Amino acid sequence: MSNHLPRPKTEDRRPKTQNPMKKITIAIDGFSSTGKSTVAKHLAKHLGYTYVDSGAMYRAVTWYAMKHHFIDKDHFDIDALVSHLDDIHISFVFNKDVGFAEVYLNDENIENQIRTLEVSSFVSRVAEISEVRSQLVKQQQKLGKGKGVVMDGRDIGSVVFPDAELKLFLTASPENRAQRRYDELIKKGDIVLYDDVLKNVQERDYIDSHREDSPLVKAEDAIEIDNSDMTKDEQFQIILELVNKTLK
């Protein structure tokens, strides 16, 4: 018989998740640099859900197009990219050191390469192509088939998972978003100018919301959250309450 005393119970003050057995799909859409991926990662970790960064998939295709010289600032060979789509295999592999799944292109970890301003400057043009979209949407739907998924992007609530139980739409002012993206890039050691980052944010807003195929729109049943003046923690608490309400 063990003579160890039972451990004293400490009170867990973290907000409880309602009905943890029920698994739902959470779609988080919104403009670029609204902090979608930060909150989505945090939420997935908290709920024990899978996180899928759909923007990383569009970035991975862009990276492939750049590597193969299908796109640069003067030309874009759309036919060449489309004819190579079947050679592009994107996967997510959980890295326990960083606490989230990193993106791989044909077995090469490209998590850092896809976050540069250069990739950002081409990605909206790649994301406009219907063949690219339909290929990636199919893969995204497969990744979220079993529910228990948090996916962020532009068309998750409107196209990828129109039946998602919870749809969020994040917004913030362009200046606010540019500052966040600028701080991130500088922290990584990239040499960029705030004005260039702001210009890129505005250009991507325009292209993302005006493209013909699945433009960035707030799904009718999505809940809009303007996080311009919110801390990450405040936003997380609001979202957690919405999750709990949905799980009830």
Binding site for ligand DC (CB under 6 A): 32, 54-55, 58-59, 123-124, 127, 153-156, 204, 208
Q: What share of the chain is helix, strand, coil (3-state, %, to 5)?
A: 45, 15, 35
Q: Helices then strands (H, E): number in the chain? A: 8, 8
In angstroms, the CA 171 to CA 87 distance is 35
Rounded to a whole number of angstroms, the minimum distance from the CB of residue 96 to ligand DC is: 23
Rounded to a whole number of angstroms, the minimum distance from the CB of residue 5 to ligand DC is: 51
Rounded to a whole number of angstroms, the minimum distance from the CB of residue 228 to ligand DC is: 18
90-95 and 100-105 beta bridge pairing = antiparallel
Nearer to ligand DC, 28 or 239 (CB): 28
Nearer to ligand DC, 111 or 208 (CB): 208
Rounded to a whole number of angstroms, the minimum distance from the CB of residue 177 to ligand DC is: 10
User: What residue ranges in the chain does DSSP mark as E strands?
Assistant: 25-30, 50-53, 90-95, 100-105, 108-109, 149-153, 166-171, 223-226
In angstroms, the CA 42 to CA 99 distance is 10
In angstroms, the CA 44 to CA 52 distance is 9
Nearer to ligand DC, 19 or 141 (CB): 141
DSSP category for residue 32: T
Rounded to a whole number of angstroms, the minimum distance from the CB of residue 133 to ligand DC is: 7
Nearer to ligand DC, 121 or 246 (CB): 121
Nearer to ligand DC, 111 or 155 (CB): 155
The vertex-80 CA angle with 74 and 83, nearest 5°, equals 155
Nearer to ligand DC, 55 or 144 (CB): 55
